[in-house]
Structure 1
Amino acid sequence: MRVERALCALMVIGLVSGCTSSGDDKPVIKDPSPAVAASAPPWTEPAAYSFTLTRGCGPAPIGEYRATVKDGVLSAAERVGAVPVVPSSSAEVDLGPVTEGQQGEEIDVPTLGELLGMAETAGADGATVATRFDTTDGHPVQVKINVEDDPAAAECWNVTEYKPAS
């Protein structure tokens, strides 16, 4: 019994002494994910660019689309490859019209600005939202939206092959 009390006392002393500072120390905030750089520059959506958008959180994507934006509006979007139709895990997130054709799910592909707007709206409505940005130019590389407590219910959008028009 005495050993348990001594250990408890040492733990309390350690916790209390670890939580105090001299006042000169500045708090250090560590980013839990090194891929999400706090130093990513702010991104302004260019008037023209292209990108590939992959929808799905797991190793098997629900859909992959090659998109082109001109004058701030989606000017072309084509499905890349055929991915089997998988029902959406979250019907509460409005991700645009979806139709199921012979090649699988078809969606209205958002521009990157619209994708960020969708994430902002979902977050304001109470969803858990995580967004990652490219560390060189600040464009979004991943948006994850979850309107439920179940991690399997998340909707993920991954952006690759981003190229601003010259």
Structure 2
Amino acid sequence: MLLRKLPWAVALVALAAGCTSSDPSPAPAPTSAGSPPAWTEPASYSYVLSRGCDDAEPLGRYQVTVASGAVSATERLDVTSVVPSAGADEDLGPATGQTGEEIEAFTLSELVEMAETATDDGAEVATTYDTADGHPVKVSIDVGEGPECWSVSDYKP
């Protein structure tokens, strides 16, 4: 059975190899009329990341600082401190009305890469970009279990 599939696999690899280019420079991103300008991520910037598809009630809001192309600081903006009662031995975590789940913040280029990877993997992805400078402002990824959304605000290069 494997030997019958081998010629097809070889043909597929040959076809894919024929579609590659020896030019090492990346192909320009497709643009259309009215599309945002190409965005180049600065080495340092800050932004507010909101997780969740309901803008009125996000699951988490984070102030993210990027320095030298990597996340250097993250601060959760929507957490209220909970003081456990005397004698309580357990950590209650953040009181957000949710499970208190924390996420690892990412750079905006990592957010774009995540959307591109999800698209390549067959997920339904919607990405919105700022019309002035082209940075991502909203990404929604649905792999069939309901969408996961991230919104970007207060972007400061």
Structure 1 length-normalised TM: 0.62
Q: Which aligned pairs between 1:50-69 and structure 2 lie closer than 5 A?
A: 50-58=46-54, 59-69=56-66
Q: 1:161 aligns with which of 151, 154, 157?
A: 154
Aligned: 1:146 with 2:142: yes
Runs of 5+ consecutive residues of structure 2 not aligned to the other structure: 1-32, 81-91
Tell me the percent identity: 56
Q: How far has the Cα of 1:82 moved from its partner?
A: 2.3
Specify the alignment match of 2:74 in structure 1: 77
* Partner SS state of residue 106, structure 1: coil
Structure 2 length-normalised TM: 0.65
Aligned-residue RMSD, C-alpha: 1.8
Query: Residue 154 of structure 2 aligns to which amino acid in structure 1?
Result: E
Report the Cα distance in structure 1 between the residues aligned to 2:124 and 2:42, rounded to whole angstroms: 27
Q: String of CA shifts for 1:43-75, please: whole Å, max 9, x gaps.
A: 011100000000000131110000000000000
Q: How many residues align?
A: 109
Specify the alignment match of 2:103 in structure 1: 107
Q: String of CA shifts for 1:104-148, please: whole Å, max 9, x gaps.
A: 221110110101111111111110000000000000000000001
Specify the alignment match of 1:6 in structure 2: none
* Partner SS state of residue 102, structure 2: strand
Report the Cα distance in structure 2 between the residues aligned to 1:141 and 1:38, rounded to whole angstroms: 16
Specify the alignment match of 2:39 in structure 1: 43
Q: How far has the Cα of 1:101 moved from its partner?
A: 2.8
